Amino acid sequence: MDDILDLAIENISSFSKLKTLSRDRVSFCSSNSIRANREETLLKQTLKDAEKNRTKIYQLRNNSSDVIIGVVALSTSRLDSKPALLIDYIFISNKFRIKNSGINYAKFLIGFTYELGLELQKKVGLSYVILYPDNEEKKLFDYYKKKYGFETIRENVAIQRKTKTERWMYLPLQSENS
pLDDT along the chain (178 residues), means of 10: 66 62 62 78 86 91 81 91 93 80 87 95 92 77 90 66 66 76
Q: Degrees (nearest 5) of the Cα angle 112, 15, 113?
A: 10
Do the domain assignments include residue 167? Answer: yes
CATH of the domain at 160: 3.40.630.30
The number of folded domains in the chain is 1
Do the domain assignments include residue 72? Answer: yes
Cα separation, 69 vs 85, in Å, equals 22
pLDDT score at 2: 44
Do the domain assignments include residue 177? Answer: no
Do the domain assignments include residue 6? Answer: yes
Do the domain assignments include residue 121? Answer: yes
Beta strands in the chain, from DSSP E residues, in sequence order: 7-11, 56-62, 67-79, 82-92, 128-131, 151-152, 169-172
Cα separation, 148 vs 133, in Å, equals 13
Cα separation, 84 vs 80, in Å, equals 10
Do the domain assignments include residue 178? Answer: no
Q: Determine how β-strand 169-172 pairs with β-strand 7-11.
A: unpaired
Q: Which domain holds residue 134?
A: 2-172
pLDDT score at 26: 55
pTM for the structure as a whole = 0.82
